[in-house]
Amino acid sequence: MRPAPQLLVLTVGQGIAGGLAVSLAALWSMGVLSHADAVWLVLLALLTAAMGGVASFFHMHHMAAARYILRRLKTSWLSREALTTGLFGGALAVAAAWSLFGHTAGWPYLWWLWLTAAAGLLAMWVTAMLYATIPAVLSWHTPVTVISLLSLGLLSGASWVGLVLPLGDHRYRVFAVAVMVFTVFVLGIKALHWRHFAEAHGRLRAETGTGLPFAPYRLQDTGTTKPPYRMQPQVWPAIPVRVRNLFYGLIVLFVGAGSLGCLLLARLTGVELFSVILPGMVSVGVVLERWLFFADATHSSRVFFVDEPRQPSRLKLSPRARVPAK
């Protein structure tokens, strides 16, 4: 799939905003947050959500029809995404206004923060469902996609808290430990997800795609000399194994080592800088992860554009000598 920058910004931005909203509500509930910190966090969430919103707006190519976008709430996850993302944005805006100008003591504010966090989670879930419910995108068609997008969003949002709070400080110990545990969880989910991607790549089958069951299978012509990558962004040239492995490494480095390392170092050294580096590391990792999420996704129509991938036998092969002689 051709990675569209707008979708990259939308999903990453929405994730950070959602993660921030959840973190904000949690930290506020824990009572470890000052009013000023809360204002900063809610503004950060609003900013990242707005980035995502603006990006998604530019993903539309035919603006004149944008007014019809809520027409298919019954069937279209994109209609729902427009609605839920809008609601989340609205909730955030209210929260921001409330934080800046309103009375923040007492349960109504706390409740609103949790409501906003729920709206964020809902928006993230709907967005994730949009991807996970397309059978033709073989790589995404799994519940792991939902968990992956949600958890990465939460982690990246939580990491952005580091911009406001010195997470090495013992006041935020519970939060920091939670983030570290969650990081390990996210890495596990990503591993599962990537395994699914690899399997999806191998699930392209000439026999059902074309009716030709014999190997080797070669595509000599896609109808035009070139594969229709320009006209059909749902397919994209295969990512070389080395590039993919490089991405895996970088993502684990930035998200995993970045998150755990920064939090540990912040705690051990007490240097606030690590807390600020943390969101940078995680965000870079998430952007890389999202790029790979799009670029490496296998669409079923790929079977019409490329040779079938070679699948070595999964059996343990016996050496020739084991064949009994006549």
- Site residues (vs another protein, CB under 8 A): 1, 59-66, 68-72, 75-79, 82, 130, 134-137, 206, 208-226, 228, 230-235, 299-305
Question: Nearest-5° angle of CA 141, CA 234, CA 229?
Answer: 155
Q: To the nearest whole angstrom, how small is the minimum distance from the Cβ of residue 224 to another protein? A: 5
Mapped onto helix, strand or coil, the DSSP state of residue 137 is: strand
Q: To the nearest whole angstrom, how small is the minimum distance from the Cβ of residue 242 to another protein? A: 17
Question: Among 86, 102, 120, which residue's Cα sits nearest to residue 18?
Answer: 120
Question: How many Cα neighbours within 13 Å face the side chain of 238?
Answer: 17
Question: Among 266, 22, 326, which residue's Cα sits nearest to residue 151?
Answer: 22
Q: To the nearest whole angstrom, how small is the minimum distance from the Cβ of residue 120 to another protein? A: 21
Q: To the nearest whole angstrom, how small is the minimum distance from the Cβ of residue 198 to another protein? A: 19
Phi first, then psi: what are they for 270, rounded to 5°?
A: 75, 10
Residue 220 or 318 with smaller CB distance to another protein: 220
Q: To the nearest whole angstrom, how small is the minimum distance from the Cβ of residue 153 to another protein? A: 20
Residue 35 or 226 with smaller CB distance to another protein: 226
Question: Nearest-5° angle of CA 60, CA 61, CA 67?
Answer: 55
- Per the CB < 8 A criterion, the answer to whether 122 and 130 are in contact is no
Residue 6 or 265 with smaller CB distance to another protein: 6
Q: To the nearest whole angstrom, how small is the minimum distance from the Cβ of residue 232 to another protein? A: 5
Residue 126 or 150 with smaller CB distance to another protein: 126
Residue 2 or 171 with smaller CB distance to another protein: 2
Residue 84 or 159 with smaller CB distance to another protein: 84
The CA R_g of the chain, rounded to the nearest whole Å, is 23
Residue 313 DSSP one-character state: -
Instruction: For residue 149, give Cα distances in angstroms to 13, 16, 38, 146.
Output: 12, 11, 25, 5
* Residue 220, token pair as written in the block: 């000599």
